[in-house]
A = this chain, B = another copy of it.
Amino acid sequence: MAVTTIKAKTVLQEQVVVEAEVRGHKVRIDEPEHLGGTDTGMNPAELLLSALGACQSIVARTYAEKFDIDLKQFWVELEGELDTDGFLGKSEVRPGFSSIRSVFHIETNAPKEKVQAFKEHIEAHCPVGDTIHHPVDMDSAKVVIED
């Protein structure tokens, strides 16, 4: 067991701009103009897909040598479906992603079968992928009313 507690803080700014901060690293989140924002950053759903692709990439880097894969280039294209009626309360559909797909682009001289096993290993060991794919315990938020 090597249980780690991961933390983040997000602060709502003007309109729908949000600043996230973790260990001094900041990310600006916003919505495009047609969704009521000023388009100065990714929106949260896009950032979630980015976290997934980044996670798959880091797992790939970490395990490439073990699988004897020369990783010359590695990039991921991600996409998923989300019904905005859920967020807007227009229907009982779930507000989140119904499905998410990844395409791994790998520049390598390794044979296909090795790359296939490598891919399966990445998916089975990716923390963000597992978090999205399977249910996670989430207690209802605690609220602190500030003076």
Instruction: List residues of A whose CB falls within 8 A of some B CB.
Output: 1-12, 15-16, 18, 20, 22-23, 25, 27, 29, 31-32, 36, 39, 41-62, 71, 73-91, 93-108, 112, 115-116, 119-120, 122-147
Interface of A is mostly: mixed
A1 touches B83 (CB 8 A): yes
CA distance A77 to B85 in the complex (A): 27
Chain B residue, CB-CB nearest to A137:
B99
Contacts of A47 in B (CB 8 A): 20, 27, 47, 50-51, 54
A104 touches B27 (CB 8 A): no
Q: Select A49's contact among B8, B85, B129, B146, beta carbons within 8 Å.
A: B8
Q: Select A54's contact among B10, B86, B103, beta carbons within 8 Å.
A: B10
> How near does chain B come to A117, taking the closest CB pair, in angstroms?
11
A100 touches B137 (CB 8 A): yes
